[in-house]
Every structure is written in C-alpha cells, then in structure tokens.
Chains A and B, each alone.
Chain A
Amino acid sequence: MTQNTQFTKAVGNANEINELLRRYGVKFGIYKNGVFNEQFFPFDPIPRVISAEDFKSMEKGLVQRVNALNEFLFDIYHDKKIVRDGIIPEDFIYISSGYLAECEGITPKNKVYSHISGIDLVQAKDGEWYILEDNLRIPSGASYPLIARELTRIAAPQAFEENPIIDNRGYAKLLKETMEDVNCGGARAILTPGRYNAAYFEHSYLAEHTGSVLVQNDELFVEDNILYHRTYSGGKTRIGVLYRRIADEYLDPLTFLPESLIGIPNLMEAYRSGNVGIINAPGNGVADDKGIYYFVPKMIKYYLGEEPILKNAPTYLPFYEDDMKYVMEHLDTLVIKDVAEAGGYGVVFGSDLTKEKLEEFRATIIAEPRRFIAQEVIDFLDLPILENGETVMRKADLRAFVLSGKTTKVWASGLTRFSRNPDSFVVNSSQGGGFKDTWVLSR
C-alpha cells in the first residue's frame, strides 16, 4: 500500500481536522515589527510515517545521544575530563553563551541536565536519518502533534482503525513522570513568561494535561531556600519541581541578568540547596551550542564507549584550520549557521548569496571563526503536503522528543515541520512553516 492511498481517510477529512484545530485554538504567537499576533498553526493532514524498524533504530540512537549529552553536562560542571583529555577544546566550552559558571558544582537529581530534549532530524533520500540540531534548553512543539492526534482521531477515525499506529497521547504522562522524578517535595509548576510568548499555547496545554500549576514569576517567591506559590487567599504552596519555559539568563535576577523582570529572586539558591528541581537544568545550553554539536559523536565514544548510531550532518568548524580551508573553498555550496541564533534565523545558504555577499560573508567567517559552523546541504526527503486540494512536495524535518528522568525514553511521535515555500529548507513556524502528525507504526 502506498503512503498516498494508505492515508486517504485522514486527507479526506482535512477540512474537519482544521476546523477542530481552530476550535481548540491551536495557535502560536509571533512578533512582526514589534507587534504580537496569534496565528493558527497550519496543519497538514498527510502524516509522516515512520516504520517500526526505523523507529527502533532511531530510538536507540536518540537515547544514546541524550545520555551522552547528559554525561557531558555533568562532566563540564564538575571534573571537565573531556576538556582535560583534549576531546573538546576549552574555547568551545567557556566562551559559549550557554555555559554558566554559576552552575559549577551543582548536581541535579539523577545527574540529569536535559530532561526534555528536542532533537531535530532529517531523513536523506537514501533513507538515512541525520541529526541537525540538539535543542536542550527549552525545546517546544510537543503539544502540537499531541492535540492534532487527539483531533484527527475524532475527524478521521478510520485512518487509525486501518493502520497500526502507536498511540502518542501518553506524552503528558511521560512528562508528569519526568517531573516527578525530579520533584523535591511539593507541587508541580510550569513557569511561563506569559501570554505573549510564542509558545504560550504549549505552556498552558501541558499544564492542563500534567495537572501542573501554570505560573508567572510574580506568583512565586523563595523563603528559607524553598520555592513557594503565593495563593490568592494569602497562603503559600511549596513547589517541588519547576518546568521553566524561560531562558537561563532570566531565571534569577540575583544570579544572572539583574535586569530580568521575569525571574524569581533566589531561585538558584533554592535549586542549589536541593529544595526544588528545575527542568531543564540551568546551564545545559552549553550542550546545545551549534559549535558543540560537532563534538557529540566524539562524546558518545568518550563517555559511552559506543559508536554513534545516528549521524551528524557533515559539519565543519572554521575554528580548525583544515575545516576553515574547506569552508573557504566550498562556501557557495555549504549552509552556514550562526551558533548564537535559533528558530531558523542566522542560517545562510551559500548558493543563495551574490558574489559580493559571498565575499563579505567570507570575511566575517575569517574574522569570527568560532561564531559559525558550516554543513553540507543534505538533500533531504521531501514530504507530500496538501495545498489547495493538490498534493505537492515540500522540505520537512522531525523534532523528536526525548525525556530523561530516572531513565531516558523517546516519545513515539514527534513534531514534523514543513516549509510551505517550495524553494526553502527553513521549516520553522516563526518563518511560516506548518506541521503534520508523525505516525510511528507498531509493526
């Protein structure tokens, strides 16, 4: 059975599915010219399908990768053996914006730093999966396939009767378990910067489905190194685990950026004292630095003594002389990424640049070699999407979600994002991309 005929039932009900997504307010926020707009996230009813065999291998590779990344983070904030052994140059650690000296010596529960990892992959035309990025800070997106599946099952139940699809609706349970693994005694809370955050839908949806309190900073306070939620009746409730959806540097104005208006004073002291678990652990951004990505296969060998199961996209670090030479010679065919950027920004395809711009860019790379990585453009598999009733092919990636508490588990689903622009590889929602469900088959 071909993919197209297999999923006709879901596609046939595309309008109903989109009506339901609209009804349930599946939105994301976006700032354009300083103005906040809430948009419905375009959903494509043709799912990405991952065979049971493919998923089994991907799952092993993802668990291996995230375990190595967690080992790396523990090492970096303690003994730094990987630096002393010359596997990773210290330049890539200490000048990374994700490295936080304030986290030195802190040991999170179970030695886990990245509890929720969003690993971006693409599938090449030969079927091989490549890792594009490790998002360990505050990766978002799990709520979209979660609610889309719920609604697709209502609008097109036949598709699920006829196909052996693993039910992905256990994400909230997985997340709740992960939060409980870190809980230091108290309520679960999700910290949001507020309604005007791009991922606010997700914050509130996950709070609802994990039975957590959705909080903003001014509702929280630290007293005697314990984090509390201030209740409207004048009381206080102890918070045992905080799934924060704000960046490290804004978390605690007394430890990080003093100008932060969305942080909680003394939170880091409560965390350091072991009185509250923070998901993901502060300081883990050093491992999702695009420069560190290059070293992940080496980490896997170093910490686990294993060969990496999943491949990185072929990557060059202009920091190294040989790589710089290669990048200079092949700049017009490579994709260059600014390590400080995210969300699809700071990504430049050499082939898109004019001769003048190419030379300007060459000079910038020479001047700031640590700022960039260069990758071969992977000719990744196009996926079918429905556009005005016609099926067209578009670039798509997959964000897999890996949850680490006492053990590391891969959610049998993921967020498949696609570009709506036929000439673009950029799939981010902030740049107009859409999403589709990811079906992992059970056999």
Chain B
Amino acid sequence: MGTISLEHSDRLYWLGRYTERFFTTLKALEKQLDKMIGTAHSYEDYLDCFGYPDIYTDNRDFIQGFLFDESNPNSAAYCLERAYDNGIVLREEISTDSLSFLQMAKDTLAKAKHSDNVRLALLPLEDIIYGFWGSVNEHIYDDEIRNIIYIGKTVERLDLYMRMKYPFESVKREYVRLLKNLNRVPRHTPYRYNTKYLSGLVEALGSEEDYRRDTVKALESLAHLFESEEVYA
C-alpha cells in the first residue's frame, strides 16, 4: 500500500501498546488469582508496582476491578477496548482476520466475567492473543506497518516489565528486541523516533546494577522514544 497517515501511524503504535498491555496485565492477574487461593488480601504487591491505592475490599473486588471494569483505565478490559478501538480503524492495514482475534478476545473476556471459574474461562485468551500476533505477522505485508506495531508492543512490554520488576535478563531481552525493531525503521522517518532518548535507555539497561538503580530514568526515556499522540476514537 505504501502510504501511512500520521493518525494511522499513531494508531498502529497504540494498537501494539494496548494489545501488549492487555496481555501482560492478564498474565499478571492470572498469577494473582493463583496467589489468592486461600488468602484474603494478596494483591498489595501488584498495586505497589504501579503505585495504585488499595481501595479494594477483598480479592474478588480487586479482580473484578482489574480484570473486567472497563471504566478502570488500568484494567485488562479497558486495555482490550482501547486495542480494539485502534484496530477497528486499521482494518485495511492489519486485515479482517487480525481484527477478528480482538473481537474474539472481547467476547471471551465478557463471558469470563460471568463464569464460575474465572481462571478457566480466561485460558483461551492467551491462545487468542498469540493468534492475533501470528495473524499480524502473516497478513501484514508492509514491513513498515508491522514494525510500528511491534515497536509499540516492545515499548509497552519493557515499560510493564520494569514496573513489575521483572528479572534483568527478561528486560534485557525485550530491550534488544526494541533495538532490532528500531533498526528496521526506514531512514526517511527519523523524526517519529526520538533516538536521543535511546542513550538514556542504554545507560539504564547497561547492567543489572544500572537496571536496579535507574529504572525510573529508563521508563522516562521509553515514554519519549516514539512521540506519538494517543488517539481517542
């Protein structure tokens, strides 16, 4: 196709970010669900990662709020809606097939909300999101389009992994992945990527010690790497 508008480039980026935010949030909440078995309050560490206040009465209240409450901007449901909002206007770029995975994810999450066994009902979501990424890889022929989505995905993953205090090796792996994606950016589009912030990332993620010490700096650099306006439908 060879012609991408500014708005679509933003939406591609945020499609990548929100899909990944949904996926990583979901996986983190699944771990929380496991920890909650036989305990009353076992979600404080999750709230601490993001600096969210504890306003929840019990495990169930927390899970409802973070999994299914679409009005909570930190919930999995909210992230999925935003991913869909971005995807729906990118049909001709990402394909109807790719979009169908987001619709399936929405339907599966909606069903899980009313399920007696939430963990079991959430299980297909992991497959669906892997299917989405497979479809993106398969159906998007334009490398530039695919790369913008992947940069969004990797930026989000790095951001969340650092906030959730993932091990350095996992973060480093994603960081290398981001560098590879940035290397694929065509030379004629440099202004979309503020590579000067890369040096901040390089310093912060240079070694395990740097990572422990400079996470905040790394998060800041990451936020400015792709100067994209979030587009609301």
Binding site for B on A (CB under 8 A): 22-25, 147, 187, 194-196, 200, 204-205, 207-208, 211-216, 218-219, 229-235, 237
- Judge whether B5 and A233 touch: CB under 8 Å: no
- Cross-chain contact of B233 among A22, A195, A212 (Cβ < 8 A): A195
Additional A-B contact list (7), CB under 8 Å, known A215-B5, A231-B3: A24-B100, A24-B103, A196-B233, A207-B92, A208-B96, A213-B3, A237-B2
- Tell me whether B188 is interfacial, beta carbon within 8 Å: yes
Interface string of B1-30 (1 = CB under 8 A from A): 111111111000000000000000000000
* Chain B residues within an 8 Å CB radius of A215: 5
When distances are taken between beta carbons in the complex, the residues of chain A under 8 Å from B191 are: 233-234
Q: Which residue of A lies closest to B6 (CB)?
A: A232
CB-nearest residue of chain A to B107: A22
Q: Which residues of A contact B99 (CB under 8 A)?
A: 24-25
Query: When the two chains form their complex, are residues B92 and A195 in contact, meaning their CB atoms are under 8 A apart?
Result: no
**Could you pull out 21 A-B pairs where Cβ atoms are within 8 angstroms?**
A22-B107, A23-B104, A24-B100, A24-B103, A195-B88, A195-B89, A200-B88, A204-B89, A204-B91, A207-B91, A207-B92, A208-B96, A213-B92, A214-B89, A218-B7, A219-B6, A229-B3, A231-B4, A232-B6, A232-B9, A232-B189
Question: B189–A233 contact, CB under 8 A?
Answer: yes
In the complex with contacts A22-B103, A235-B188, A229-B92 CB distance below 8 A: no
Across the interface, which residues of B come within 8 angstroms of A25, CB to CB?
A: 88, 96, 99-100, 103
**Shortest Cβ distance from residue B4 to the other chain A in the assembled complex, whole angstroms:** 5
How many A-B Cβ pairs are below 8 Å?
Answer: 77
Whether the pair A208, B92 counts as a contact (CB closer than 8 A) is yes
Interface assignment of B165: CB less than 8 Å from any CB of chain A = no
B92 partner residues in chain A, CB cutoff 8 A: 204, 207-208, 211-214
Interface of B is mostly: helix
Q: Which residues of B contact A200 (CB under 8 A)?
A: 88
- Whether the pair B4, A232 counts as a contact (CB closer than 8 A) is yes
Residue of B nearest to A230 (CB): B5
Q: Is B192 interfacial (CB-CB < 8 Å)?
A: yes
B186 on the interface (CB 8 Å rule)? yes
A212 cross-chain contacts in B, Cβ below 8 A: 92
Residue of B nearest to A220 (CB): B5
Q: Could you say which residues of chain B place their CB within 8 Å of the CB of A195?
A: 88-89, 233
Q: Determine whether the beta carbon of B3 is less than 8 Å from that of A237.
A: yes
Question: Contact at B5–A211, with CB atoms within 8 Å?
Answer: no
Contact B192 A204 (CB under 8 A): no
- B7 adjacent to A216 (CB under 8 Å): yes
Decide if A231 touches B103 in the complex (CB within 8 Å): no
A-B pairs, top 3 by smallest CB distance, nearest first, are A204-B91, A232-B9, A207-B92
Measured between beta carbons, the chain B residues less than 8 angstroms from A219 are 5-7
Interface residues of B (CB under 8 A from A): 1-9, 88-89, 91-92, 95-96, 99-100, 103-104, 107, 186, 188-189, 191-192, 233
Chain B residues whose CB sits within 8 angstroms of the CB of A213 once the complex forms:
1, 3, 92
Residues of A within 8 A of B9 (CB): 232
A273 to chain B, nearest CB (A): 22
Residue numbers in B under 8 Å from A23 (CB-CB): 100, 103-104, 107
Chain A: minimal CB distance from B152 (Å): 14
Q: A23-B100, A25-B100, A230-B6 are in contact. Are A208 and B88 (CB under 8 A)?
A: no
Q: Is the CB of A231 within 8 A of B96?
A: no
For the complex formed, measure the closest distance between the CB of B221 and the CB atoms of chain A, giving whole angstroms: 22
- What's the nearest-Cβ distance from chain B to residue A200, in Å? 8
For the complex, what is the distance from the CA of A270 to the CA of B89, rounded to whole Å?
Answer: 27
- Known contacts being A24-B103, A214-B91, A233-B192, is A205 close to B96, with CB within 8 Å? yes
Nearest CB in chain A: distance from B124 CB, A: 13
Q: Select from chain A the residue with minimum beta-carbon distance to B4.
A: A232
B8 near A204: Cβ-Cβ < 8 Å? no
A207 contacts across to B, CB distance below 8 A: 91-92
CA gap between A187 and B5 in the complex, in Å: 14
Whole-angstrom CA separation of A211 from B7 in the bound complex = 19
Please, how many angstroms separate the alpha-carbon atoms of A247 and B91 in the complex? 23
Q: How far is the CA of A215 from the CA of B1 in the complex (A)?
A: 13
B89 cross-chain contacts in A, Cβ below 8 A: 194-195, 204, 214
C-alpha spacing A215/B92, complex, angstroms: 11
Q: How far in angstroms is the closest Cβ of chain B from A18?
A: 12
Q: In the complex, which residue of chain A has the Cβ closest to the Cβ of B91?
A: A204
Q: Give the shortest distance, in Å, between A181 (CB) and chain B (any CB).
A: 21
A212 to B95, CA, bound (A): 12
Closest A residue, CB atoms, query B186? A233
CA distance A208 to B7 in the complex (A): 18
Which of B3, B186, B189 neighbours the largest number of chain A CB atoms within 10 Å of its CB? Answer: B3
Shortest C-beta distance, A67 to chain B (Å), equals 32
> Chain A contacts of B7 at CB under 8 A?
216, 218-219
Min CB–CB distance A431 → chain B (angstroms):
24
Please judge, given known A-B contacts A22-B103, A23-B103, whether A205 and B5 are in contact too, CB under 8 Å: no
Instruction: Report how far A235 CA is from B6 CA in the complex, Å.
Output: 10
Select which of A147, A194, A208, A229 is within 8 A of B5 by beta carbon: A229
Across the interface, do A232 and B192 meet the contact criterion of CB distance under 8 Å?
A: yes
Question: Do B192 and A24 touch (CB < 8 A)?
Answer: no
Tell me which residues across on chain A come within 8 A of B1, comparing CB atoms: 187, 211, 213
- Nearest CB in chain A to that of B85: its residue: A195
Bound Cα distance from A214 to B8, whole angstroms: 10
Q: How far is the CA of A219 from the CA of B6 in the complex (A)?
A: 8
Q: Give the CA-CA distance A23 to B124 in the complex, in Å.
A: 14
Min distance, Cβ A153 to any Cβ of chain B, angstroms: 15
A205 & B3 in contact (Cβ 8 Å cutoff): no
Contact at A232–B100, with CB atoms within 8 Å?
no
Q: Is A232 touching B104 in the complex (CB atoms < 8 A)?
A: no
B123 to chain A, nearest CB (A): 18
Known A-B contacts A24-B96, A24-B100; the reply to A232 vs B8 at CB < 8 A is yes
- Min C-beta distance of B60 to chain A, whole Å: 29
